[in-house]
């Protein structure tokens, strides 16, 4: 686990930066796949934990939620629009559920349903970060934004790597995993309008050169 900003750490994974989990103060942001529980718990075993809070409820972000919450006796938070998926009343991956890749992800990565203890909405605060609804990739996708230093935790609003090759690249999330690519482009524009100093993402290294985000927006089709 490495510190990437004040009171913000990125947990280690294998391969590095592939499926990211963050610790903001005493809040775990995302929980990778259901196979990641031991890795996450080992890295935070000496840290206080008060909450697990999700950027969105896809299998590679909610997978180990139940294991972590039960082991550490902490509540779970996600945006209101992802509650039904997290609690098992809707599919977690609604973008293209029949896609073979999504079927594999569901089979090997998806975690069990779990009750949401805290429902997040626009403007709520989590570990000093402001909750900003950023739908498109998932209905309840959020950006956590810290106004004091303009650090953003943006889930899969963007990727900073090609998830198929692992090569660095600031890009839109792949269409097979994204419910509404057009709506997600609006969320990418919203992210840029925040003027972040750093963007921490679900897949890829933290982005510090924000000009790369600006170039992505410039290349996108007009809304």
Total number of domains constituting the chain: 1
Tens-place pLDDT, residues 128-177: 999 999 999 999 999 999 999 999 999 999 999 999 999 999 999 999 99
Residue 15 burial class via C-beta count within 10 angstroms: exposed 0-12, middle 13-18, buried 19 and up: exposed
Query: How many whole angstroms from its chain centre is CA 80?
Result: 15
Is a pLDDT exceeding 80 seen at residue 223? no
In terms of Cα–Cα distance, which of 153, 199, 204 is closest to 29? Answer: 153
In terms of Cα–Cα distance, which of 101, 35, 81 is closest to 62? Answer: 35
- Find the CATH number of the domain harbouring 129: 3.60.15.10
Torsional sign, CA 32, 107, 76, 38: negative
Structural domain that includes position 71:
2-219
How many degrees, rounded to 5, is the angle at CA 51 between CA 45 and CA 55?
Answer: 110
Tens-place pLDDT, residues 2-33: 999 999 999 999 899 999 999 999 999 999 99
Rounded-to-integer distance, Cα 101 and Cα 37, Å? 22
């Amino acid at each position: 686990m490495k510190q990437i900003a004040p009171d913000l750490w990125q947990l280690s994974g294998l391969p590095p930066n592939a499926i990211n989990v963050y610790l903001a103060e005493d809040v775990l942001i995302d929980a990778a796949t259901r196979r990641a529980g031991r890795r996450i718990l080992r890295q935070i075993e000496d840290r206080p934990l008060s909450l697990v809070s999700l950027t969105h409820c896809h299998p590679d972000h909610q997978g180990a939620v139940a294991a972590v919450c039960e082991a550490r006796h902490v509540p779970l938070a996600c945006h209101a629009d992802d509650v039904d998926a997290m609690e098992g009343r809707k599919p977690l991956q609604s973008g293209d559920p029949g896609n073979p890749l999504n079927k594999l992800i569901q089979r090997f990565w998806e975690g069990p349903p779990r009750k949401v203890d805290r429902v997040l909405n626009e403007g709520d605060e989590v570990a000093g970060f402001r909750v900003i609804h950023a739908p498109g990739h998932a209905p309840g996708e959020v950006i956590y934004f810290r106004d004091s230093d303009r650090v953003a935790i943006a889930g899969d609003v963007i990727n900073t790597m090609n998830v198929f090759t692992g090569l660095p690249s600031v890009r839109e999330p792949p269409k097979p995993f994204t419910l509404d690519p057009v709506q997600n482009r609006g969320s990418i524009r919203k992210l840029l309008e925040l003027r972040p100093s750093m963007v921490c993402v679900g897949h890829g290294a933290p982005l510090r050169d924000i000009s790369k985000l600006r170039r992505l927006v410039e290349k996108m089709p007009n809304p």
